[in-house]
Structure 1
Amino acid sequence: MLIRIIFCSLFFFTCAAPPPPSVKGVKIKQVKKEPLKQPRPELSPPTPVALPPTKDSRPDLVQETVYSRGYLTGYDIWEFLREQPAETDVLETFGLPDSIWLDDEERTKFLYYFISEMQDYNIIEISTKTDSVSGFEWD
């Protein structure tokens, strides 16, 4: 029985928190600190993403371009897109796209250009944040 009492007392004393420190017999008052409150950022309403028209939606805007005249080689197209031009420069060079899609997060516009000889689409990705080319797939 004595061993149990010794064991229990050792257990309680070793698990108890130490007393707060004191300086020259004066106890230091412990102040409970509250976590810092971060100001909530003001959320602004989302700005709508402007999509350019397509060939079908605005046939009156379809014009001949450097691309439609056949003046650009595959290498010229690749070099032009690699420089990440602005969306307006892309539309001036290639004309209106056949189709446009916007991703779910509204971060990227996908401009699809149909190539009848290949029966395939080429894609130019435009960042909505910078309004410039962020990627492309051109065959």
Structure 2
Amino acid sequence: HPELIQQTLFSKGYMTGYDIWEFLRERPPESDVIETIGLPDSTWLDDRENTKFLYYFISALQDYNIIEISTKTDSVSGFEWD
């Protein structure tokens, strides 16, 4: 249950931005993304309901990073992570 996840490898500081980039490049399932990075700050579904957008606010950068999840495969289909 994602709602039970309070600390992740990312929130504990065990992963760098590059580690996250490498992880996402492997196109993991959404459940692995949430387990590794945590729950997003915001989630949106596109008009065609093909892609879910997970928004993560990184306070140190004062910027959002976006992970795209395909609703067909339930895995990462794209991302922008600084």
TM over 0.5: yes
Moved over 2 A (4+): none
Q: What's 1:111 paired with?
A: 54
Q: Is the 8 A contact 2:5 2:35 kept in 1?
A: no
Task: Figure out how many residues of one structure are paired with residues of the other and give that number.
Answer: 81
Q: What's 2:80 paired with?
A: 137
Note the C-alpha offset of 1:108: 0.2
Aligned to 1:134, the other structure's residue is in SS state strand
Instruction: Tell me the alpha carbon deviations over residues 57-92 of structure 1, each in whole angstroms, 9 at most, x when there is no partner.
Output: x6xx35000000010012211110000000000000
**Which of 76, 82, 91 lines up with 2:34 in the alignment?**
91
| CA distance in structure 1 between the partners assigned to 2:34 and 2:52 by the alignment | 13
Q: Is the 8 A contact 2:55 2:66 kept in 1?
A: yes
* TM-score normalised by length of structure 1: 0.56
CA RMSD of aligned residues (A): 1.3
Aligned to 1:124, the other structure's residue is in SS state strand
More strand by share: 2
| CA distance in structure 1 between the partners assigned to 2:63 and 2:30 by the alignment | 22
| CA distance in structure 2 between the partners assigned to 1:95 and 1:138 by the alignment | 14
Instruction: Tell me the alpha carbon deviations over residues 109-133 of structure 1, each in whole angstroms, 9 at most, x when there is no partner.
Output: 0000000111110000000000000
* TM-score normalised by length of structure 2: 0.93
Structure 1 residue runs without a partner (length 5+)? 1-52
Higher Rg of the two aligned structures: 1
Aligned to 2:35, the other structure's residue is in SS state helix
Q: Is the 8 A contact 2:57 2:63 kept in 1?
A: yes
